[in-house]
């Protein structure tokens, strides 16, 4: 089997001051014999520790209270094991903690204070604040703009906070792709084993305690040895509603090509998006979702609701790493 690693675009954009990107490190470790989960975790750790990426780990955009909360999950298809953490505070390397849940417990998911206590027991250092100067400044600007809506309660205030984030992305204060965040990375080893890891800080300025799709099996990622692996980035609630990663892997198990399976999952998201606050002027989703899929033979693809020259995914083979364009379901700009 030809070994393969695919990831969201930030898997081949950040190095945290080193020489390797996520997919390069994961591929090199995997082909040298390292366990694929460990190889993927070490790859995504590069992005988690790089403050230049505001969507995962240290320096990621915090919740509405200014606190960074992280979600992550690992899935090993060969061993049929998985582990995840949700609403984890104080540990930038959430994927590494999720891997310990996989290895050291019989559970699939630990959350909140329990996840942090487990990380501490495993020897992970706990820090008071995972914000960088940049992420805290962006949160303070968002908070300033939200002040006009402080007297508003319920869903309208939530929608106002989301709209402010969209405005800030349009103004170039933050990357629209990082309003939701996340890095996903999947691997096919030389022996044909499949594994996947997803890690994120979730929606920028989310309600404290909000958990998105990244830590949930079948949503943020899924892998089956006889079928393939899939994962996602983008608006987690839309992905959770349809358990899209499970949907894609099941479609590949039935013979669908990764691209066709991912596009079909996107069609379901479009059909399920009816809330006015989530629609643009063309009555289409005002957010993006991207899927990354590979089957057990090594065919792979990435598809997004909205494409463009900057909507890409990372691929690493024996020929090296590169960014490739994602296929898109919808025409026109997202907003």
Which residues are tagged catalytic?
Answer: 182
Q: How far apart are CA 308 and CA 265, in angstroms?
A: 19
Residue 222, CB-side half-sphere exposure with 13 Å CA sphere: 23
Across the strands, what pairs with 188?
Answer: 4, 194
Residue at token pair 């540990």: 91
Alpha helices (runs of H) in 213-257, residue ranges in sequence order: 236-242, 244-253
Q: Which residues of 290-322 are buried (b: 16+ CB within 10 A; e: fewer)?
A: bbbbbbbeeebbbbbbbbeeebbbbbbbeeebe
């Amino acid at each position: 089997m030809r070994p393969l690693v695919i990831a969201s675009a930030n898997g081949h954009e950040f190095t945290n001051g080193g020489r390797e990107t996520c997919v390069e490190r994961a591929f090199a470790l995997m082909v040298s014999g390292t366990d694929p989960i460990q190889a993927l975790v070490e790859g995504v750790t590069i992005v988690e520790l790089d403050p230049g990426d505001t969507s995962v780990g240290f320096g990621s955009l915090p919740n509405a209270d200014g606190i960074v909360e992280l979600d992550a999950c690992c899935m090993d298809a060969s061993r049929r094991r998985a582990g995840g953490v949700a609403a984890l505070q104080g540990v930038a390397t959430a994927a590494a903690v999720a891997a310990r849940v996989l290895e050291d417990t019989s559970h699939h998911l630990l959350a909140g204070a329990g996840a942090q206590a487990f990380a501490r027991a495993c020897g992970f250092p706990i820090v008071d604040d995972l914000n960088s100067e940049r992420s805290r400044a962006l949160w303070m600007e968002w908070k300033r703009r939200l002040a006009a809506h402080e007297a508003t309660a319920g869903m309208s205030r939530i929608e106002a906070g989301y709209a402010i984030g969209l405005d800030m992305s349009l103004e170039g204060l933050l990357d629209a792709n990082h309003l939701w965040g996340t890095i996903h990375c999947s691997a096919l080893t030389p022996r044909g084993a499949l594994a996947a890891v997803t890690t994120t800080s979730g929606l920028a300025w989310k309600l404290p305690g909000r958990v998105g799709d990244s830590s949930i099996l079948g949503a943020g990622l899924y892998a089956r040895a006889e079928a393939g692996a899939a994962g996602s980035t983008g608006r987690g609630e839309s992905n959770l509603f349809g358990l899209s990663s499970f949907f894609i892997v099941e479609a590949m198990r039935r013979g669908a090509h990764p691209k066709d399976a991912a596009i079909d999952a996107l069609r379901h998201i479009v059909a399920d998006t009816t809330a006015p606050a989530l629609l643009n002027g063309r009555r289409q989703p005002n957010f993006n979702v991207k899927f990354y899929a590979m089957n057990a033979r090594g065919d792979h693809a990435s598809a997004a609701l909205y494409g463009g020259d900057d909507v890409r995914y990372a691929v690493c083979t024996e020929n090296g790493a590169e960014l490739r364009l994602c296929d898109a379901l919808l025409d026109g700009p997202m907003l």
